[in-house]
Structure 1
Amino acid sequence: MLVDAIRAEGFRLSKSRTTWFWSVFFVPIMFVIGGAIFQVINKVKGDEAAAAAGIPEMPVSPLNLAESLMFGAQWSANGIILVCMLIAAATVYAGDYRWETWRLISARNSRTSLILGKMAVVKIVAMAATLAFLVAAVIYYLTQAIVFQRPLTFSIGGAELGQAALIWLLCCVRIVQFTIMAMLVAVVTRSLLAALFVTWGLGFVQSLVGIPPIAALLGWQPTDWTPQLLMPGLAFDTLKSAIAPSIQIVPDAGSALAPAIVSLALWTLLPLAGALLWFNRQDLSKE
């Protein structure tokens, strides 16, 4: 039953090219284009400054392409990707309310399977979005090597590769956690726009509260239980910092592992449970 729901939802979403473009490919494409422009401008300005100061051309150092893996993994759940992923989430979770097709498909499968099938498809889209950004990060580094005429090397240890893989997996978890909020909003409001904008608004407020001046005004330290539980984005950054100490987004992240894990788990499981309970009791005769 669940497999049928996943296949059906995946087939429907595969026909929505607009959703795939904005949710998966838009950010990587813009990153590649913007990165290329930045590299060219940086090269031109640097050459002009060096010529004006009479600085002779210096030999360039090799560029380790393997660094792009950590860079891409680290930023594959950035704020813009999260917002763009809401397009796919709202389309999947609220599309049947928008087109009044729930009554046509709810008789052919269990409600729990239908919701979990939609969540599985959103997970697949999340993985596709993060992998697309990884490819964009590699292209960004290649562009840098071409513009600055730097030779390429590829050197990475097993520990660094493991850290990049764990951070990529954590980014997928963060995207799924964020989009599950859209699932809950879609089920409660039966509105595609609400699933999109209410979830975005919640994420914006959480990020606003997490700004250091506001957090300091509230008397919060990043490793305290209260901010960790209220802000899953902070919990996500804490776990990233703990996995790869070189990132250091949250200082002393190792001391906040427990609240960070609990926060991400609660912000994932509670909205999912709420959406399942609400949906199973919902009247879909007119939807």
Structure 2
Amino acid sequence: MLDAVLAEALKLRRHRATWMMVWIYPIVITAIIACVLVYGAFKAHAPGAAEPAAEWIREGTILWNVPTSAPGRFLTAGFTAVVFAGEYGWNTWKLIIPARARWQLIAAKWVVALGFLILAYVAADLISLLGSWLGSFQGDSIPAGVTLAGVLEAHWHAGVQALVPVVYTIAFAGLFAILTQSILATVILSIALVVIEGLWPLIGLFLHQYVPALIEGLVKVLPFYHLANLHAWSKGAGLALPLGPGAIISFSWGMSFAVVSAWILAALAGTQLRFLRQDLN
């Protein structure tokens, strides 16, 4: 299994898709930080109001909102499409299948796709923190009360909260790739999934007046509301979704996490089962 992961990582680490959709995060952050520091070196600095330590730490974790945003998830889905569906376009499955068990090949792709993305996010986050520290020498001093432990804890929590939508996106993009065997179709289906997720509250509200029982059941079972609820809980309070008079959907963090996890596991199982039965000769 380790050999399969290493081989997959070696194949993808310098791929153009990896540069454009994964390594792009630390590259862009580095460019932005460099521009800000150069601008700050020639700018006259006036003393400003002291910023609360908690607010300064919170603002430092904003970068972790990018992977959970729609554009960030589109990039994740696009990279996953290349990782999984690319083998069909390159016609390379038949070359690597005899050397490995099929389940190992799929598992290796999951590990590498998620591992590369996490590595890119963490690198971008560390570069952002380094930029904030260097900026403190140009007049934007770090507020009193900011501690290394507090910064690490805040960034750890932000990173963990970002993992759920990232893993969910990888799981379903991988499933679409195995089902369609096409990079383009995988990207289109993944974008549609993210768009439907964002529109789901409006769709539920509109359809509830016609088939209330069905819509309430779908909202509770499908992952769309629960992903939004997990995001809301990460901000401090859950999402209460009013569908109509006396019909308000509200779940705890644990219940929504269980529902989303079940859908992720179902997508992973579906991917493996379909791939095991595919004729790739």
Normalising by structure 1, we get a TM-score of: 0.74
Q: Which residue of 2 aligns with 1:217?
A: 206
Residue 152 (str. 1) matches residue 151 (str. 2) = no
Distance 1:120 1:172 in 2: 13
1:24-43 aligned at under 5 Å gives the runs 24-27=22-25, 29-30=27-28
Q: Which residue of 2 aligns with 1:277?
A: 273
Preserved contact between residue 76 and residue 166 of structure 2 (Cα < 8 Å): yes
2:112 to 121, 125, 138: 121
Residue 106 (str. 1) matches residue 91 (str. 2) = no
Q: 1:199 to 1:277 in 2, by over 3 A?
A: same
Distance 1:227 1:162 in 2: 33
1:150-179: CA deviation from partner (whole Å, max 9, x where unpaired): 322361596785454233123123212111
2:189 to 191, 198, 212: 198
The alpha carbon displacement at 1:6 in A equals 0.6
Identity %, equivalent residues: 20
Aligned residues: 258
Q: 1:108 to 1:146 in 2, by over 3 A?
A: same
Q: Given residue 192 of structure 2, which amino acid in structure 1 is its aligned partner?
A: G
1:1-287 aligned at under 5 Å gives the runs 2-16=1-15, 18-27=16-25, 29-30=27-28, 59-62=48-51, 64=53, 65-135=56-126, 137-138=128-129, 149-153=139-143, 155-156=146-147, 161-162=152-153, 164-210=155-201, 213-219=202-208, 226-227=218-219, 229-232=221-224, 234-245=225-236, 248=237, 250=239, 255-285=251-281
Distance 1:28 1:225 in 2: 42
Distance 1:225 1:128 in 2: 38
Q: Which residue of 2 aligns with 1:53?
A: none
Distance 1:90 1:171 in 2: 20
Distance 2:97 2:222 in 1: 35
Preserved contact between residue 23 and residue 87 of structure 1 (Cα < 8 Å): yes
1:91-149: CA deviation from partner (whole Å, max 9, x where unpaired): 110121111111111000100011101111011022123224424653675698688x4
Distance 1:146 1:215 in 2: 51
Q: Given residue 6 of structure 1, which amino acid in structure 2 is its aligned partner?
A: V
Distance 1:199 1:91 in 2: 13
Structure 2: gaps (5+ residues): 242-248
Q: 1:59 to 1:195 in 2, by over 3 A?
A: closer
Distance 1:12 1:184 in 2: 21
Q: Which residue of 1 aligns with 2:245?
A: none
1:21-62: CA deviation from partner (whole Å, max 9, x where unpaired): 22224355556767978xx8xxx9xxxxxxxxxxxx874324
1:241-274: CA deviation from partner (whole Å, max 9, x where unpaired): 43452xx573699843244112311221111111
Q: 1:105 to 1:164 in 2, by over 3 A?
A: same
Q: 1:157 to 1:216 in 2, by over 3 A?
A: farther
Distance 1:77 1:117 in 2: 23
Query: RMSD between aligned alpha carbons?
Result: 3.6
Q: Given residue 115 of structure 1, which amino acid in structure 2 is its aligned partner?
A: I
Distance 1:190 1:181 in 2: 13
Normalising by structure 2, we get a TM-score of: 0.75
Structure 1: gaps (5+ residues): 45-56
Distance 2:20 2:230 in 1: 28
